[in-house]
Structure 1
Amino acid sequence: MKIDKKFVEKIQYCSDLIDRGEFNNAFNLLKESLNTLNNIETKESIYYTLLSNIAGFFVDLGSMGKNIEASRIGFNLMKDNKENFIEIIGESDFYYNFANAKASLISVSFPFDNDFASIEELVELKNYYWKSVTSSNSEKAEHLVNLANALKKQFRLVESIKYYDEVISLNLDIPQAWVNRSDALIMLNMISNTYSIKMLKEIKKGFSNALNSNSVPPQWKISWASQEEQWIKKITESQQSLTEDESDLLDDEMTTKEYNELSEYRKFSLIKKLTLSKHSLYCPCIGSSKDNLTIPMTTEGIVGDFVAPMETVLNRLKSEFIFARQLYREYYHDHEEDYVISNESYFAELYNDELLGIKVEKLRSAFRLCFGILDKIGVAICELYDLYPSKDKKIYFQNFWQLDRNNRRALFEKIKSPGLLALYSIATDLNEKKEGELSFFKKWRNKLEHEFLVVYRTEKPNDIYKSYNYMKDIIFIKESEFIKHLEQLLQITRSAIFSFVYTVRHQGMINKDDNSIYLTNTIHPKHYD
């Protein structure tokens, strides 16, 4: 068979059918095209180019049309032709499409049905999306949205909302960012046990903005319009209990006014998404002015002797995170005293390009603090549930779980909660055995603590006097790379603190006499959480 222009146009037409929501026609045409292509004996580059397109369309169809067979065909085509496809479309797009196919094949569709067995599928999915993001030379909005979707299914809502906001700020026509942000806020309400009218408005806004998109299949618009109507009704019912003055406080203009009155320090924390306030996840008003994340301790809230000790742990976590955040901020905002210290410091000039002094030490210290926070969360979880894996009680956050040893997966399953599943997912990011994309952070941390890690600013560090020759296995990191990864570590540490709080709250709810899982939702008229 000879590949001609009409055959190529036939394959491309499948994309138009999918965009129009004609999923059955697209599926039949794709299968026909695949059978035709498979009859070609000579597998030249054009063959793999067309095959990669067909595989991608199968993946899109599987996701948008809820067609498991299409997803499986696309996944297997990509798995069997990985190297050829990467050479054609690049590593980033390959892993993006591969992850999309995997997403449609996940056995548990409803996040709250996940357990410590099914979560492994989502961990693998998350790793594929991470690869699609980290292997790209430029930020691709669609990749970030689907990464956020994978994190959302693992209850890493703090991070997923951040990524949705990041994509939305680009002003692109990507309705999935708006809809999934709303879904993340709904889930946040369920696991945090509180909500505000502002949150309801943000949920509704997601569906409203998605409906304005020019690239939405008709079936989706019907569903989203129904959701929009539902949340409008909930907002109306909730606002009936408010006075006129209280209702005014929910206005977007008031939110902007309140934000402008915040301190520059707070604005920095909000812009960088480094606050420890649930309200700040979706609204930068005065309700976000403090890091007021706590574990409820009232008789109407949660019950248990562990509450006060865990609140003590949370105080320690918050204190260290706030310090790490301040060190990171001070790197960008010089203080007069920093100049004095720098002028009064002296380092021998060895022309080896290592950054020395108080500024870079702030970055290095912030990195170490984050790992200390994560390890403390691990210790607290072991104390809360008596889950120490060994007698010496030496705990590292990324690997204390050991789910495949001594029936520990079953132990964790007995105490399963959204927050605990989220913490495990975060830990896999740092675990080399789980192929975590950030597993190298542990090596960096060890070098910072015990050996040598050199941060430099030039394109390539010089070493005129060969000053590094007597130190083995030194890690060299460019300053811009170190900052980028520190920002990433700050984000997952923040997410872990939120997840720790929700884990403890869940345990407290189990102890309540009525055995309910979630607190009764309460409305805060001034939309403070």
Structure 2
Amino acid sequence: MHGEKIEKLGLEIDLAADNSDQVRLEQLLLDCDTLMNNETRKNRSVLFFYKANCYSALRMIERKTLDDTWSWHQERQIAEVLNLRSAVVETGFEQLSDGMRCKMLTNIANGLSSLGRTIESISYYDKVLSLIDNFAMAVGNKAINQFHYGQHLYDYGHSGVFFFHANKELSRFGTEPLLWDSGVQKDALDAFISYRDVTDEILNNIEFDSSFDFNDFSLGESKKEQDYRKWCLKQRLFINPLNDVLDATIAANDILHLPSHVYAVGEEPRFPKYFNLLKQEFIVSRYMLYEFTTSNLDHYSDNDVLLENGLDGVQFGYRNELLKNSLRVSYSIFDKIALFLNDYMNIGLKVDGVNFRNIWGMYNKKEKKLEIHPCFLESENWMLRGLYFLSKDLYAPNFQDVSEPEAKELHYIRKMAEHRYLGIQEYPAQVDDTEYLKYITVDDLEGKSLKMLRLAREALIYLSLAMHVEERKREEARGDGLIVPIQSTRL
């Protein structure tokens, strides 16, 4: 399709959206699908973007009659995010203008933020600002996202750091020229100014020390430890919310645990035990990936090991097994988070059948819809909702509604690594996969392992902060009375 026709299709979508023409938007979605197969990679990226715009418009039409602010059913927005992500992973995405790419990435970030995926959204805002550092909608919305993230922390000192960084970005409005992709949007500008004023007041009230040196903290005594911690900071892999707003040494620790919480008299204080194990498995998975990236190809454990040449290009050795096992361990964390929720939220599923996709509710096969448990539906908990929508980045055979284009592939790779055979190649070889054995390049597996680590970290942070919100709600429901809170303490 020529550029003129692509542009015309976009204008038709805009017109249908302006007219709230639901029937026309549904037809335009089909038109995008029809055109998709015969297009260049660049145009496919644009068509995915147009599909996302259709879903966004349909969602806005439906919101006129139903307030879905706290709804856990967000099929339109999930479809919007999925198509935007599909646009970005197309190889043709890199051929688009910086402005178009920034618009797509900002829309993903905004969508994820509204779903409660505050951590993932920050990474997309940062991608925008790495392309155009004064892209107004990314600057402002990232700051608002940071503000709300900070509100959900149980460490109020950390909250102040979030408010400070949000305020610093919001203060750019009115003091420097910012790029608005389609002219200054007054409603958005007013919102950004309002949040700036709120953060000004908060920082003044708490007497925040803006001269505080965030880099005046040790990274360890040995160079090995310092290098490891620098890598974790750069990759944003510390279980510490501060690592989402800065990579200074103050964030170079895994300080986040569980908030203060309450048990009934005689009840076992078990949740810190669960979280200890979750954190430790994450730390090991993280270090395995780090060791892979920094170790030599040869390891003495590989000496005198007899292996036969399979003529398929598979590379063996300790180093590659680190990579494979990092993925396996980080992926396993999600089902254990589901077990935590099963116990903490009193859901009552049999332990043997709990996983990260079915913990949220029962799937109605007749209506092809997930019936979410009331304990979640009735909880206006942004972080818990974020954890739920994070589950849609993972594929499961009975839960195929995903918001991540690579979800099914990641599921398959994990299955092959865990239960069958996964062969790691330095370069793709001319051999076919079988139902027993799948091949993957080392670079591809490294990228997927890092992706799973970041997702596991995000889930662990949401779990802790969601518990903080729930504990405050339970405290309000209990009213006055004698309670003994349990605060996590160091070993």
Q: TM-score range by the shorter chain?
A: 0.7 to 0.9
> Which of residues 265, 270, 275 is equivalent to 1:314?
275
1:382 CA drift (Å):
1.2
Task: Quote how far apart the aligned CAs of 1:73 are.
Answer: 4.9
Residues 194-245 of structure 1, C-alpha deviations (whole Å, 9 max, x = no match): 45333223212333446622335555257526634652563355346548xx
Query: Residue in 1 aligned with 2:35?
Result: 84
Aligned partner of 2:50 among 94, 97, 109: 97
1:284 aligns with 2:237: no
Partner of 1:434: 400
Instruction: After TM superposition, give the deviation of residue 178 of structure 1 in Å.
Output: 1.4
Q: What is the one-letter code of the residue matched to 1:129? A: L
Is 1:342 matched with 2:298? no
2:168 aligns with 205
Return closer, same or farther for 1:75/1:156 CA change in 2, 3 Å cut-off: same
Superposition deviation, residue 475 in structure 1: 1.2
Q: Distance in 2 between matches of 1:72 and 1:198?
A: 47
Segment of structure 1 superposing worse, 374-383 or 127-136: 127-136
Equivalent in the alignment of 1:355: 315
Which amino acid is 2:78 matched to?
V
Q: In structure 1, how many angstroms separate the alpha carbons of the residues matched to 2:419 and 2:291?
A: 25
Q: How far apart are residue 392 of structure 1 and its match?
A: 6.2
Matched position secondary structure for 2:440: strand
Greater Cα shift, 399-408 or 368-377: 399-408
Residue 425 (structure 2) aligns with: 456
Aligned partners of 1:170 and 1:259: how far apart in 2?
A: 32
Q: Which residue does the alignment assign to 1:238? A: 203
Deviation sequence 1:270-305 (CA, Å, 0-9, x none) = 2112121011111223431211112222xxxx4345
Contact preservation (8 Å) 2:146, 2:166: yes
Match of residue 378 from structure 2:
414
Residue 270 in structure 1 maps to residue 233 in structure 2: yes
C-alpha spacing 1:369/1:162, structure 2 compared with 1 (3 Å): same
CA distance in 2 between partners of 1:392 and 1:202 (Å): 42
Q: Trace 1:77-476 onto structure 2 (pairs within 5 A).
A: 77-84=28-35, 87-88=38-39, 90-106=43-59, 107-108=62-63, 113-116=69-72, 118-139=73-94, 140-193=101-154, 194=156, 196-209=159-172, 212-215=177-180, 219-220=184-185, 223-224=188-189, 227-228=192-193, 230-232=195-197, 234-235=199-200, 238-239=203-204, 241-242=206-207, 246-249=209-212, 254-255=213-214, 263-297=226-260, 302-305=261-264, 308-334=269-295, 339-389=299-349, 391=350, 393-405=352-364, 408-411=371-374, 412-415=376-379, 417-431=381-395, 432=397, 433-436=399-402, 437=405, 438-461=407-430, 472-476=435-439
The alignment of Structure 1 onto Structure 2 pairs a total of residues equal to 448
Identity across matched positions, percent: 18
The TM-score with structure 1 as length reference comes to 0.74
5 Å-filtered alignment, 1:40-51, equals 50-51=4-5
Q: Is the 8 A contact 1:303 1:509 kept in 2?
A: no
Are the structure 2 counterparts of residues 449 and 85 from structure 1 closer, same or farther at C-alpha, using a change threshold of 3 Å? closer
- CA spacing shift, 1:278–1:136, aligned 2, 3 Å: same
Amino acid at match of 1:502: L
Give how far 1:247 is off.
4.2
> 8 Å contact 1:307–1:508 — kept in the other structure?
no
Q: Mind listing any 5+ residue stretches in structure 2 that lack a counterpart?
A: 95-100, 480-491
- What are the within-5 Å matches in structure 2 for residues 15-94 of structure 1? 50-57=4-11, 59=13, 67=18, 69=20, 73=24, 76-84=27-35, 87-88=38-39, 90-94=43-47
In the alignment, is the contact (CA less than 8 A) between 1:78 and 1:85 conserved in 2?
A: no
Q: Is the 8 A contact 1:111 1:153 kept in 2?
A: no
Quick check: which has more Rg, 1 or 2?
1
Compared with structure 1, are the counterparts of its residues 286 and 232 closer, same or farther at alpha carbon in structure 2 (3 Å cutoff)? Answer: farther
Kindly state the Cα deviation for residue 327 of structure 1 after the two structures are TM-superposed: 0.6
Supply the distance in 2 between the matched residues of 1:230 and 1:143 (Cα, whole angstroms).
24
After TM superposition, the structure 1 stretch with the greater mean CA deviation from structure 2, 454-463 or 104-113, is: 104-113
